Structure 1
Amino acid sequence: MKQNITDLSVLELSNLIKSKSISCTEVTDSFLRHIDDLNPQINAFCDIFHESAVRDAKLADAAIAQGHYSSPLHGIPIGLKDLTPTSGSTTTFGSKLFKTNMPEHDAILVERLRKKGAIIVGKTNTPEFGHKGVTDNLIFGKTRNPWNLTKVAGGSSGGSAAAVAARMVPIAEGSDGAGSIRIPAALCGVVGFKPSFGRIPDVAGPFSSTTPFFHNGPISRNVHDSFIFYRAMAGEDHRDPFSIPTNSSQPTKPLPPLNRLKIAYSRKLDYFQVSADVENCLDATIARLSNLGYQVEEVDLGLGLDVEECFMTLWRFKLSSTYGGLKKNELHLLEPTVQQLISEGNKITPAKYGRAIKVRERVWDIISRLFSNYDFLVCPTTSVPAFDIDKESPRRINGIEINSLIGWFLTYPFNLTGNPAISLPVGFCTSGLPVGMQVIGQRLDDTRLLQFSETIELENQWRS
């Protein structure tokens, strides 16, 4: 082949596999070798399934030889985040507390990916319980950014984003409770898609995944591959009462002509601080879209800092309700920040929780009204490009103090609403690191969001 196997997209690989131009075993071997070469430096994978991946690839080849081709994911190596239960291997959640945890059953999305013929080559690194926007933990250490090994990969799906960016897998699964798919996608220069809440059945327990909304979705090198992966995972399941069908009786409304498509542009979602590096890159992208004929209007949404406090209240409450009953010796196994969040969550009063729900309702109303006038909303994904791996998350941007835990990414408001959102690579900052643009669609308008994102991708010619 003229191209390295590991440089090919899911679509390109699937066409070669389906036509028998290349075997599933050959593809899997190539990616496993690439993982073995690069993972010691990047630390994207915390567990690599050499034996089972090769075995499953041989079974995939045997199925094709018998005329059974499952889907475009048949024989495609994938990574799964270490928050996603996977039978037959440990799922640690990045926590010493679960260092030897061996789930008895696959998550629903894992069941579906296996049935589609995907080859699981390993689990990707995550911070403890996915609690922050960078990827490191007390078991496996830090995941590094493939563009610059001295920089963070983002989080909490940092292992998945780094693995995709470094060509260790063509696609990987991530999860997103505050931006954990979109943040690392932006910092690693890949595509990260958070579908509408309910599109993909929950992995952690449906009633614990609504406050805020917890989503699973794909991280890929292009939008079309994300669509393939999303469709494989999506769909209703009786085990998740909030799951919804992928196919509606109503066909997807087509995108309007380019000159009638209305885009709302928010430079900073009203209250975030955004670095000049990121803002300049986004402005250039928006200018290109305007020059192409898109109707782009800059908007103020009416959001405020109370949205940050609302989210932090719900996030603390979620952690404390799950882990607040741990014994002292168990709590001491957790990272200090997680211990602090649990302690703060234990002190939340019913009145404070109720106020957070009211703010959440206001955010929903604001975003819903926006989509009565616009097709899509765009804004930065993160306020800053990837920062030094040995330093803390930013505490100040533009000289203004921010919440270092969540104040540097513009993603979590859409975990309050459940809207579909995607991060697309749109350029580079002055230091040569990738910058991501977030595109948000109306709830359940996932297909149109992906279609629009693909047009942006083509205009930006990122892959070249």
Structure 2
Amino acid sequence: MVARAADRPRAAEPRGPYEGTGALNGHASGSPAAPVEETASAVRARRLRAVDVVAEALERIGRADPVLCAFTEVWDEEALRRAREVDVRAAAGERLPLAGVPIAVKGRHGLRAAGPLLAAGGVAVGATSVPGPGTPWQTWGLGAHGRTVNPWRADRTPGGSSAGAAVAVAAGLVPLATGSDGAGSVRIPAAWCGVTGLKVTGGRLPSPDRTGLAAPGVLTRTAADAAAWWRAVARPSAPAGAPGPLPRSALWSPDLGFAAPDPEPVALARAAVGRLVDAGVVRLVRPSAPVRLLDPAPAWLALRTPGADLADAGRVRAENDRRLARLFAGADLLLTPTAPTAPHGHEGPGDVYSTALTWAFNVSGHPALSVPAGFGADGCPAGLQLVAPHGREALLLAVAREAERRGVTA
């Protein structure tokens, strides 16, 4: 949950990532992490050494993390050892799509799910922050040096539960960080930190979540970097979900028929949709009826509560599945704001679910992507959520990449 707009601090002027925290600015901390393919191509061609790329990432983390608190652990020696191994593999001609790319993994147990990334030549440099013990709503993080701060405003949360992952990417410490998304835990921090966040189709990749609500995801600075992650982790046998030609048809909904978002994030997301339309990336279609889903909150909560009566949850899920199937029969994409409010302060959540616009797609299993949509009056980023039919991650990434190519994302 997050506080109402009236309860948040007064607006501040927009500023660059982590200037507002008092941390080193981008020049003092060194150049931000290079894009994934740029790094991997240079390491494969032996124009760069993976060990040097990783050493630079560790230096960035060492300088900035005492203020940002994005990491719970940093694996300096192990990361440099793995980087040297990547250099040996690259010299032997091994095909490594992520050769030498520094990667942050979500939480202390995130390395367990990073096997495909390491096999592709990525180098895990540390574990990112997640909420501390006893926090009922996962909208902030606790790093080794203290609470995780939003890199745009230190008095605001970065979102969660993939809090440190979003901060590490937004601040340019690493180009790619893994996440997991059970109710919006990738998409919300992506929106509030101004980066790209992808949640994959439920069940398409392995997940330890027994409820089936949580799906793996990734946070990156660009859709191209997210696509590189997707190529590394997608199952070869999975349907390709080819994106096809642009523009793609899209429906816009500010509230999914049940949420009550603040006006500002709605306006920012709608303006981002307008830019996509003007650039020929999407075309809006008029629905035969307003987009109205049932509020998934009771179903989501029941599915997460041991021993709960799941009859109503099943009813809500089945009805929303029916409505979404009808919606996607007439459009390729559904577009919404990612979060219903701006980031709340570190005092904790208020009375509004920050998951209001995201968790329906954990219950339904649809893939969803948050892309930057601009900045609010408080200087914090907002996000635009793109939702696609099951298995259409490639479509989401293609639309986001084209939007970046045409310069229409924030």
Same fold (TM over 0.5): yes
> RCO greater where, 1 or 2, for CA within 8 Å and sep 6 or more?
2
Q: Is the 8 A contact 1:81 1:174 kept in 2?
A: yes
Aligned counterpart, 1:392: 348
Aligned-pair Cα RMSD in Å = 2.4
State the Cα distance separating 1:145 from its structure 2 match.
0.7
Structure 1 residues 296-305 or 2-11, which shifts more?
A: 2-11
CA distance in 2, matches of 1:75, 1:139: 25
The within-5 A match list for 1:172-183 is 172-183=177-188
Identical amino acids, percent of aligned pairs: 29
**2:90 counterpart of 1:64:** yes
Aligned counterpart, 1:427: 374
Q: Is the 8 A contact 1:186 1:425 kept in 2?
A: yes
Aligned counterpart, 1:304: 294
Q: Is the 8 A contact 2:90 2:99 kept in 1?
A: no
1:363–1:128 CA distance, 2 compared to 1 (3 A): farther
State the Cα distance separating 1:85 from its structure 2 match.
4.8
Aligned counterpart, 1:295: 283
State the AA in 2 paired with 1:301. Answer: V
Q: Is the 8 A contact 1:125 1:157 kept in 2?
A: yes
Aligned counterpart, 2:158: 153
1:6–1:441 CA distance, 2 compared to 1 (3 A): same
CA distance in 2, matches of 1:175, 1:162: 15
Per-residue deviation, residues 182-212 of structure 1 (Å, max 9, x unmatched)? 010000000000111232222x26xx142xx
The within-5 A match list for 1:341-352 is 348=308, 352=309
Q: Is the 8 A contact 1:74 1:116 kept in 2?
A: yes
State the AA in 2 paired with 1:302. Answer: R
State the Cα distance separating 1:253 from its structure 2 match.
4.4
CA distance in 1, matches of 2:336, 2:198: 15
Aligned counterpart, 2:235: 235
Per-residue deviation, residues 90-112 of structure 1 (Å, max 9, x unmatched)? xxxxxxxxxxxxxxxxx3x3222
Gaps of 5+ in 1: 87-106, 237-244, 322-345, 396-401
Per-residue deviation, residues 44-102 of structure 1 (Å, max 9, x unmatched)? 1000001100111111112222333x32211111011116453xxxxxxxxxxxxxxxx
Aligned counterpart, 1:242: none
Aligned counterpart, 1:448: 395
Aligned counterpart, 1:134: 139
Q: Is the 8 A contact 2:279 2:408 kept in 1?
A: no
Helix, strand or coil for the counterpart of 1:372? helix
State the AA in 1 paired with 2:313. Answer: A
The within-5 A match list for 1:264-275 is 264-275=251-262
1:378–1:84 CA distance, 2 compared to 1 (3 A): farther
1:197–1:51 CA distance, 2 compared to 1 (3 A): same
How many residues align structurally?
A: 379
State the AA in 2 paired with 1:188. Answer: C
**2:169 counterpart of 1:143:** no
Helix, strand or coil for the counterpart of 1:371? helix
Aligned counterpart, 2:68: 42
1:230–1:253 CA distance, 2 compared to 1 (3 A): closer
**2:192 counterpart of 1:192:** no
Helix, strand or coil for the counterpart of 1:149? coil
Per-residue deviation, residues 233-290 of structure 1 (Å, max 9, x unmatched)? 2227xxxxxxxx33x3xx64442442xx311000111111111221221221222233
Q: 2:267 aligns with which of 274, 280, 283?
A: 280
The within-5 A match list for 1:27-106 is 27-68=53-94, 70-82=95-107, 84-86=109-111
State the AA in 1 paired with 2:154. Answer: L
1:64–1:364 CA distance, 2 compared to 1 (3 A): same
TM-score, length-scaled by structure 1: 0.76
Per-residue deviation, residues 366-423 of structure 1 (Å, max 9, x unmatched)? 111110000100000001122222x22232xxxxxx4xxx355410000011111000
Q: Is the 8 A contact 1:272 1:408 kept in 2?
A: no
**2:76 counterpart of 1:119:** no
Per-residue deviation, residues 135-178 of structure 1 (Å, max 9, x unmatched)? 23598742111111111010010110011111111101000010
Larger radius of gyration: 1
Gaps of 5+ in 2: 1-26
CA distance in 2, matches of 1:231, 1:17: 18
